[in-house]
Structure 1
Amino acid sequence: MKAWGLILLVFLLNLQEKPVKAEDGFITTKGVQFWLNGIPFYSNGFNAYWLMYEASDPSQRHKVSAVFQQASNHGLCIVRTWAFSDAGYRPLQYSPGSYNEQMFQGLDFVLSEAKKYEIKVVLSLVNNYDEYGGKKQYVEWAKSKGQSLSSKDDFFTNPVVKGFYKNHIKTVLTRVNSITGVGYKDDTTIMAWELMNEPRCPSDPSGKVLQDWISEMASYLKSIDANHLLEVGLEGFYGDGKKQYNPNTGKEGTNFIANNQVPGVDFATVHSYPDQWLNGSPCEVQLSFHQQWVQQHILDSLNILKKPVIFAEFGKSYKVSGYTSSDRNQLYNITYSSIYSSASRGGPAAGGLFWHLLTMGMDNFRDGYEIVFKEESYIAGIISEQSQKLSGLRKKYAQLRDTEKNKY
């Protein structure tokens, strides 16, 4: 009762400070919480990077609709997906500034379907890796324009490359959905933009290069769209002072604390793949690391960043030696229980997005981490239970809000 009394006091103070209109559909942040329609927003979610690709082929759009329906049935309210595909096969961006309208219409469909199922969307704008083009493709484009570049990390510093990326930001944010007629930057279905999927700059372990890039791109993006939230796309690796928490040597050129303190960055993200990062270690060691990894980032989001945090990717692959479904289920339970424990106290952990959700008939997208609800009822139950618990928190906040409204 004491905990809920404190939450009620905080809620009333926030309500008096700035009433939130019920019709406002953009998710915002206030302190360490997300807010939507006048109440704190906690929600379970998933990754489905393939949505735009499949939706660009009208004969495959039923897969997008099916996965959204199944997600909704399991209480999932956030999806993270790609808003990039640079050069290569069926790209979104053929070359700098030259776009594939059919692929863009696929993304339009994704957003229109997500709205039908009341699922918020996080859109990532470029890849750190070579898949779907990524920073390597941007550097190749600049080299074809006469730039003398030698590293993929020139993506973060070369003015021509940065110009290409800024143009992509502007093109996506100012896109008008061909189905709904709503501009992306005005679409409340979009929860947030992500600057890059898992940015790393190993050529500069000090972290300065990536820090400067985040600052520049966050400022640019917010100058176009001040409505939506922004996150970096970080895995959560620490810089100097906290490298002892990393599962590696800490040479990725990222800094969870400093990167998320950049003005314009609204919330933090964390990924966790102990089966990759501690490959060869006993499962107990991996799970112990995972629990500490999750808890440390919740504490730092609360005490240092003072911002919400989403565990934007996590999972365990059956393709890694020593895998058992029991260990995978335990990893999910550790993640979910840590998030709920924080959320139930009004804390910063707002949700977890597992990697990744497929529907039947998508064998070519299987990577060992996939969840197909119709194949595994037990993990589906774990996911549904977390969704119900977080939904229950939102209902309690809504009841508090309505009770206070009725007093006046």
Structure 2
Amino acid sequence: MPRFTMKAPVLLAIILLTLCTDTTIAQNGFITRSGHQFSLHNKPYYYIGTNYWYGGLLALQKNGKERLKRELDFLESQGVNNLRVLVGTEGKGLVNGVERVKPAFQYEQGKFNMEILDGLDYLLYEMGKRKMYAVLFLSNNWEWSGGFLQYLNWNRVISDSTMQHKLNWNDLREYTSQFYACTPCQQDYENQLRLVLNHVNKYTKHKYIDEPSIMAWELANEPRPMLTTAVDKYRQWTASVARLIKSIDRNHLVTLGTEGMMGTDESADLFKEVHQPEEVDYLTIHIWPKNWGWFKDTSIAGSLPELIAKTQQYIRQHEAIAYKLDKPLVVEEFGLPRDQHSFDPASSAHSRERLYDVVFAEWARSREQGGVIAGCNFWAFAGTARPVPGQIFWKEGDDLMGDPPQEEQGLNSVFDTDRLTWNIIRSYTLIQNKL
């Protein structure tokens, strides 16, 4: 057979065509926004997802990769294709009187355990195989992962003893609100942010800013001004960080991570204003009937009609704001304890299932109309983990599950054995791609 020699111009043209084709495929794999809708592969993207905040830590545990793959396979089988995940923990030791998530990513000020990102790399790699997308939150308003309190402590705004002992609600608000006026605290946050965004995934070889399995960056979990006196600084910080992320990463969406009006000084105007900047791609709300006093004690069933009515009203109030801003809305946290506040995975969760059905129905209505309610991430997937019998709170060495360390283990978790709950979820995921 005669040897075939390709001429240089032809070879160069083929190489350029290949590179352009690869780039186009990668770009089409990102979730984008057009007005009030998300888009994927030039089609509207409406999704049912879950909170899997500990997913990036599983690969670091003994047999954790096997657990992670089993749980992702389970979620895929249920049609759940969007996961909200914590990037990493700041600091170590007690905070606000409770254990925090371990191991830490930024374990000391300016010092990082890069192995934590290896675990997140593996999660994103496995998610990519299953065509799942991640919303990654970069820090936390609350103590269970260090978050803003830790930045304040590192910069001597609050002392070690103050941070470690249990704070009352007024003190917690007072201290946390100071983050928005603490320039060195914000610089520490930004240093971590830049490190994460420019990190290269060891499995996919993509920088995170080029990682197709990431849908969005979230400034923090439930960032609140906490006090009215901090509102102006809060407004400035959220806008500036959104701009910063967009200046580094043009591929991914950005959102704040708010709870809605309940987390923005109970003000519809403030909620709208902080989501107004063009760098903020979509709105989020959370719904926590127990934390917000929509029922008392263990009387979930007795208060269920009122609770459901308030849930629908809360969603629709924010839906109207999203229409005014012409941006999508995601109900990215919502949950209830099991019946009678049981932590036993074998106990019933009828009230929770009713809440899920109502929230998903609001999403389905919006999807049917091509509306603004684009996604739901229920709280929270616990997978194959189980609470330790007779032990209320998490201890180091226990399985990670949907309930963070400061909450009773099993309180709001959805286990892989919650058949009736999964039947409801599956009834909606079966329609999510039928447009």
Instruction: Determine if the TM-score, normalized by the shorter chain, exceeds 0.5.
Output: yes
Q: Which residue, 410, 423, 428 being the options, matches 1:367?
A: 410
Aligned-pair CA distance for 1:205 = 5.3
Q: In the alignment, which of 165, 173, 177 is matched to residue 153 of structure 1?
A: 177
Select which of 279, 296, 304 maps to 2:295. Answer: 279
Code of the residue aligned with 1:131 in structure 2: it is: W
Return the TM-score normalized by structure 1.
Answer: 0.83
Give, in whole Å, the separation in 1 of the partners of 2:70 and 2:382: 9
Q: Which residue of 2 aligns with 1:118?
A: 131
Q: Which segments of 5 or more consecutive residues in structure 2 lack a partner in the other structure? A: 1-23, 93-101, 164-173, 388-398, 402-408
**TM superposition shift of 1:321:** 5.1
Q: Pairwise mapping of residues 194-343 of structure 1 onto structure 2 (< 5 A)? A: 194-204=218-228, 207-237=231-261, 250=265, 255-277=270-292, 278-280=294-296, 282-302=303-323, 304-318=324-338, 325-343=349-367
Q: Percent identity?
A: 28
> 2:213 matched to 1:179?
no
Q: 1:45 to 1:139 in 2, by over 3 A?
A: same
In 2: Cα distance, 1:86 partner to 1:206 partner: 23
Matching of residue 78 in structure 1 with residue 82 in structure 2: yes
2:9 corresponds in structure 1 to: none
Contact between 1:200 and 1:253, CA under 8 Å: does it hold in 2?
no
Separation in 1, partners of 2:269, 2:103: 31
Q: 1:251 offset after TM fit, Å?
A: 5.8
Conserved 8 A contact 1:33-1:308 = yes
Aligned-partner Cα distance in 2 for 1:347–1:220: 29
User: 2:193, 2:248 → 1: CA distance?
Assistant: 9
Q: For the Cα contact (< 8 Å) 2:255–2:282, is it kept in 1?
A: yes
When residues 200 and 289 of structure 1 are mapped into structure 2, their CA distance, relative to the original with a 3 A threshold, is same
Secondary structure in structure 1 of the residue aligned to 2:370: coil
Contact 2:339–2:349 under 8 Å retained in 1 = no
CA contact (8 A) 1:28 1:36 kept: yes
SS of match in other structure, 1:85: coil
C-alpha deviation, 1:128, in angstroms:
0.4
- Secondary structure of 1:274's match? coil
Give the equivalent residue in structure 1 for 2:61.
57
C-alpha displacement of 1:113: 0.9
Cα drift, residue 53 of structure 1: 2.0
**Which of residues 138, 144, 147 in structure 1 aligns to 2:151?**
138
**What SS class does the counterpart of residue 196 from structure 1 fall into?**
coil
Matched-pair contact (CA < 8 Å) for 1:26–1:188: yes
Q: Deviations over 1:240-297 (max 9, x none)?
A: xxx9xxxxxx469993211111231000111001122123172221111011111222
Query: Residues 194-225 of structure 1: CA distance to partner in whole angstroms, max 9, x if unpaired?
Result: 00100112233572221111011111111111
The answer on whether the counterparts of 2:337 and 2:349 sit within 8 Å (CA) in structure 1 is no
Contact 1:33/1:41 (<8 A) preserved: yes
The Cα offsets for residues 345-401 of structure 1, whole Å up to 9 and x where unpaired, read as: 11111111000112223434333211113x2211111101111111212xxxxxxxx
Contact map agreement 1:204 1:253 (CA 8 A) in 2:
no
Quote the Cα distance in structure 2 between the aligned partners of 1:321 and 1:56. 32
Structure 1: gaps of 5 or more residues? 1-20, 244-249, 394-408
| Contact 1:27/1:228 (<8 A) preserved | yes
Q: Label 1:76 to 1:273 Cα distance change in 2 as closer, same or farther (>3 A).
A: same
Aligned residue pairs total 361
Over aligned residues, Cα RMSD in angstroms?
A: 2.6
Larger C-alpha radius of gyration, 1 or 2?
2
Aligned residue for 2:285, secondary structure, equals: strand
Which AA in structure 2 matches 1:378? Answer: L
SS in structure 2 at match of 1:342: helix
Counterpart-to-counterpart distance in 1, 2:269 and 2:197:
26
CA distance in 1, matches of 2:46, 2:62: 33
Q: Distance in 2 between matches of 1:142 and 1:386?
A: 47
- For residue 333 of structure 2, give the secondary structure of its aligned residue in structure 1: strand
